[in-house]
A and B are shown apart, each in its own frame.
Chain A
Amino acid sequence: MEIIDANTSTLTNYEVLKLLTSLKGKGDQARNQSGSATITYETIKYLEGTPASVQTEGCFKTFLEKVKKFGLTKKEKLMLMNLRPQTAVEISLVLKIVQAPEEERLTEEQTDELIQLIQNTLPEKML
């Protein structure tokens, strides 16, 4: 095999879950065999325990549109969508990463605003 590009793009958990669920539904022969079926099942099981299980394309669209003003990087937005953080300490964890760690990215008010935005646009997973 020849790897042309090991990372052409990054996927959200939601996209992976959607693909795997559709594969499972198809029930093609290959899926009944060994490794392929196992990994599909295990990955679905994991993703169903994450916020991805209740997300939709629509909520991402609204979220991405509204989150623009915070000037976040792609990786940060990806983590926000995958993790759906709800507290200030989680937000600072996600945002600390890319830039200088000692520097706070957002003010306290902005963090609160971002938490509000996440709560309003991304659906909460019921336990």
Chain B
Amino acid sequence: MFVLALVKQTVRVPAEKFDRDVDQAISEELNLKFANKVVMDVGLCIALWDIVKRGESFILPGDSGHHTKVEFRYVVFRPFMDQILVGRIKNCDKSAVQVTLGFFDDIFISGQNLQNNSKFDEKEHTWVWEYESEDGKHELFMDTGEEIRFKVIEECFIDTTPSAPGSEAPDSSLDPIKDNKKMSYRIQASIKESGLGLLTWWMG
């Protein structure tokens, strides 16, 4: 579920950190800048892994900080397709079950990706799997907070930055503003297979 992304970026280290080790100062800046951010087509950034290459540092007129081009590897949350993960149910509504991993909770299992014969119980506000076995029908409730095993089937990145009126979409790789863009990363999951669903369903 976690991968390493290799990224090149110019980092500004403010003057008050000049007394610190350069790599240490840059690491701090990178952690501040990217941790807990979603990067388009990369994933949710967690923490800096290491700095691979560090270029020369520059100072610019009117700016007390130094600017350094670095290549670094960052730990990113980006499960692959069909990966099996375990999380907890955060919420149920008529259209889907939302699952959280604590640090990431945009995981949705839509109604048609639940086990066959699942129904939404309006009164309890949960989804129920009506499981039929030889000794009759069982109602398996999907309560909030329960641990659930699911399979990743789809991901999508959406740019949620408010767009300036009349602006053309420029080549985004050259656009320095890109770093400030707001992205949302959503995962669609499925539990429509034996072994998937609440952990308690499949125990012994």
Q: What CA separation (Å) do A79 and B179 show in the bound complex? A: 32
Structural contact, A8 and B4, CB atoms closer than 8 A: yes
Structural contact, B32 and A36, CB atoms closer than 8 A: yes
Structural contact, A75 and B80, CB atoms closer than 8 A: yes
Structural contact, A40 and B47, CB atoms closer than 8 A: yes
Interface residue? A126 (CB, 8 A): no
Structural contact, B35 and A92, CB atoms closer than 8 A: no
Q: What CA separation (Å) do A31 and B31 show in the bound complex? A: 8
The interface residues of chain A lying within 8 Å CB-to-CB of B195 are 87, 89-90, 92-93
**Looking at the complex, which one of A8, A43, A93 makes contact with B102 (CB distance below 8 Å)?**
A43
Structural contact, B6 and A16, CB atoms closer than 8 A: no
Given A30-B32, A35-B35, A93-B193: A4 in contact with B6 (beta carbons within 8 A): yes
Given A40-B47, A43-B46, A43-B103: A2 in contact with B2 (beta carbons within 8 A): no
The interface residues of chain B lying within 8 Å CB-to-CB of A39 are 35-36, 46-47, 103
Structural contact, A83 and B84, CB atoms closer than 8 A: yes
Interface residue? A66 (CB, 8 A): no
The interface residues of chain A lying within 8 Å CB-to-CB of B71 are 4
Over the window 36-69 of chain A, the binary record of Cβ atoms lying under 8 Å from chain B Cβ atoms (1 yes, 0 no) is: 1011101101100010000000000000000000
Please give the distance in Å from B102's CB to the nearest CB on chain A.
4
Query: Of B37-45, B106-114, B118-126, B134-142, which binds chain A?
Result: B37-45
Structural contact, B36 and A94, CB atoms closer than 8 A: no
Interface residue? B5 (CB, 8 A): yes
Over the window 1-33 of chain A, the binary record of Cβ atoms lying under 8 Å from chain B Cβ atoms (1 yes, 0 no) is: 111111111111101100110010000111101
Main secondary structure of the interface of A (DSSP, over half): helix
Structural contact, A93 and B194, CB atoms closer than 8 A: yes
Chain B residue at smallest Cβ distance from A96:
B193
Interface residue? B7 (CB, 8 A): yes
Structural contact, B1 and A9, CB atoms closer than 8 A: no
How many residues on the B side are at the interface (Cβ–Cβ under 8 A)? 50
**Looking at the complex, which one of B5, B24, B194 makes contact with A28 (CB distance below 8 Å)?**
B24
Q: What CA separation (Å) do A39 and B102 show in the bound complex? A: 9
Q: What CA separation (Å) do A10 and B77 show in the bound complex? A: 10
How many residues on the A side are at the interface (Cβ–Cβ under 8 A)? 46
Chain A residue at smallest Cβ distance from B9:
A1
Interface residue? A111 (CB, 8 A): no
Given A13-B2, A35-B35, A75-B83: A42 in contact with B102 (beta carbons within 8 A): yes
Structural contact, A89 and B82, CB atoms closer than 8 A: no
Q: Which 6 pairs show the lowest CB-CB distances between chains A and B?
A: A35-B36, A42-B103, A30-B28, A36-B35, A93-B195, A39-B36
* Contacts from B to A (Cβ < 8 Å): 1-9, 24, 27-29, 31-32, 35-37, 39, 41-43, 46-47, 49, 71, 73, 75-78, 80, 82-84, 86, 101-103, 149, 151, 173, 178-179, 193-196, 202, 204
* Contacts from A to B (Cβ < 8 Å): 1-13, 15-16, 19-20, 23, 28-31, 33-36, 38-40, 42-43, 45-46, 50, 75, 79, 82-83, 87, 89-90, 92-94, 97-98
